[in-house]
Structure 1
């Protein structure tokens, strides 16, 4: 049966303050201070690259109790996961989302990025991420993110599910097993 509804005409773009994307009960997730202790924080982001400053504010606030160097590295690695979700999954469409989950432990923070995978990804099929040797080339356009993650995170991995990937990294507070500590 054909629809009798008229399609919505393309709407103009507008500038909206980023804080309008934050629900009232979650504002402390983005304020950059250590006001509210937590063990676990989770936030769903729209698949829009324009929201990356909001992502970085979330990541920086998750590590707010740590020194500036740790905060910088945690934010850098977390931003890389978010950018990968935008670039390499269906989460990168403005109608879709990805989720960042930060879990604090006594000696570090684990960040998981849950994206919506690829539409052509088969459910039940696992394909784990692996380092692309081309990523070591400074002129390369692909693969550098996982090289960065592998070098600077204490540990990292992924679920292997192509249809709904969960990529995570763990960064120890003392930066053990991270090339950052010797760089």
Structure 2
């Protein structure tokens, strides 16, 4: 058998499209992280997953009782990758909320926490917001 290491297999979860799922999203990422993992990297990946999931639930889901979001986590090419998918049609847009506004800074955090991120259309419906964080912290 060759010495070439196998690539990591992405971990995939589906959660109800409700805000009560966000802590479960954070826990899923924590459980999937390779060990050892620095506390700082673990914190940043869980916060990033939380922001992506919250945005998908608030802005991508349509409120149907059977609607779900999907979380995918994998490590490849020197990055930890997160993708959160929702069935919504609209694309995320960076906001500039006022100082007195509570909320509206999710993508600002995504931009700050990730080394690369973007949006991809899904084959059937909806979109995936994908973010990559280098395996070693900046």
Q: What TM-score, normalized by structure 1, do the two folds share?
A: 0.62
Instruction: Say whether 1:146 aligns with 2:107.
Output: yes
Name which of 15, 19, 29 aligns with 1:59: 29
User: What is the RMSD computed on CA atoms of the aligned residues?
Assistant: 2.3
Structure 1: any 5+ residue segments left out of the alignment?
1-36, 122-126, 177-183
Instruction: Say whether 1:71 aligns with 2:42.
Output: yes
CA contact (8 A) 2:23 2:50 kept: no
Structure 2: any 5+ residue segments left out of the alignment?
1-6
Q: In the superposition, relative to structure 1, how do residues 77 and 160 fare at CA in structure 2: closer, same or farther (>3 Å)?
A: same
1 or 2 for the larger relative contact order (CA 8 Å, sep ≥6)?
Answer: 2
| Divergent runs of 4+, >4 A | none
Instruction: Say whether 1:46 aligns with 2:9.
Output: no
Number of positions where the alignment pairs a residue of Structure 1 with one of Structure 2: 129
Instruction: Say whether 1:100 aligns with 2:71.
Output: yes
Q: CA deviation at 1:91?
A: 5.5
Matches within 5 A, 1:160-171: 164-171=126-133
Partner of residue 117, structure 2: 156
Q: In the superposition, relative to structure 1, how do residues 46 and 104 fare at CA in structure 2: closer, same or farther (>3 Å)?
A: same
Q: Secondary structure at the match of 2:71?
A: strand
Partner of residue 131, structure 1: 94
CA contact (8 A) 1:48 1:86 kept: yes
